[in-house]
Amino acid sequence: MLKRLSTNRELAPYVAQVVPIKIDTASSAWQEWSKQHKADGNGIPKVYVVRADGETLFARSGSLTNEQLMQLLAAALNNAGMVLGEKDAQTLVEVTRRFQEFRNAGDPKSAIKTLRQAKRYLNKAGQVSSYAQTALALNQEIRLLNETAKESISQTASQVEQAKEQNEAEKIRAIQKYLGVKDQYSDLKSSKSDLTKIQSSIRKNDQMKSLYDSVKLLEQASLAKSDSQKSRYKDKLEKLIETSSFPLIKSQAEAILSQLKE
């Protein structure tokens, strides 16, 4: 039972970061509480410090002096993660909603972009360093996307390795697959290293390295919208058609060039 917290000046900074509660040991609420949080000793009062995710950080019988309470709360807060205010929580709820919406729609790139609004809350691992429910909800969404990204990147890596021993068409398909996966997940912290490894693998194979630059040019040219972009890529495609030794690259370049000239 957290009977009462003193509000003197020394304790104020610590008390401001916790929610004090008092539970009657004769109530049904106490029965449920005591099942979840086991305390040392049988006396009263019982003092608990419980983290936002329900983890018991401290549970012991006996009253505490102001100094003991201050030391206890200071130690507990060091393990409590980031403390979120109401505005912080609202921000994370909205980011989680949009992130989940895009992830479920199969649009990881847009989902990752929504994290920009929560950038100040994310640690180096790309997670929110808080145990509040709003933070845990977003962390779970990020974990699910990380798992999807890892599987997709792993499949792409295997396809690239297999393509090295296959024909031009398979090499092009593998490179296209990589470029697509890279476009989707390049801004995801957990994916950067694995994506870099695949590109390095492609660059170490002379034929795939040459194809990579050509395939990338073809994809960029196919997305040209403005007149200036079309003009720039027309010149590049004409040069590619003249210099490339790959029949499929030439035919694809000719098809895109024809579209740009329309």
- 6-42 pLDDT, tens per residue? 456 666 666 666 777 888 888 888 888 888 888 887 7
What CA–CA distance (Å, rounded) separates 127 from 106? 21
Q: Return mean pLDDT, the chain.
A: 88
Is the pLDDT reported for residue 181 higher than 80? yes
The pTM of the full predicted model, rounded to 2 decimals, is 0.75
Q: Give the model's pLDDT for residue 12.
A: 61
The DSSP call for residue 205 is S
Residue 240 · residue 214 · CB < 8 Å: yes
Strand-pairing partners, residue 128, are 122
Query: Which 3 state secondary structure label does DSSP give 122?
Result: strand
What CA–CA distance (Å, rounded) separates 148 from 69? 45
Per-residue pLDDT tens over the stretch 231-254: 999 999 999 999 999 999 999 999
* DSSP string covering 42-66: S-S-EEEEE-TTS-EEEEEES---H
CA-closest candidate to residue 135, choices 187, 57, 83? 83
Residue of higher predicted confidence among 16 and 182: 182
Tokens standing for 73?
């709360």
Q: What percent of the chain has pLDDT over 70?
A: 94
What pLDDT band is residue 88 in, cutting at 50, 70 and 90?
Answer: very high
Query: Which 3 state secondary structure label does DSSP give 147?
Result: helix
Is the pLDDT reported for residue 57 higher than 90? no
What CA–CA distance (Å, rounded) separates 191 from 35? 41
Average pLDDT over residues 121-130: 89
Is the pLDDT reported for residue 67 higher than 60? yes
Q: Provide the phi-psi class of 155: left if phi over 0, else alpha when psi is between -120 and 50, else beta.
A: alpha
Residue 179 · residue 216 · CB < 8 Å: yes
Tokens standing for 200?
């390095």
Scanning the structure block, which residue is given the tokens 């919406």?
101
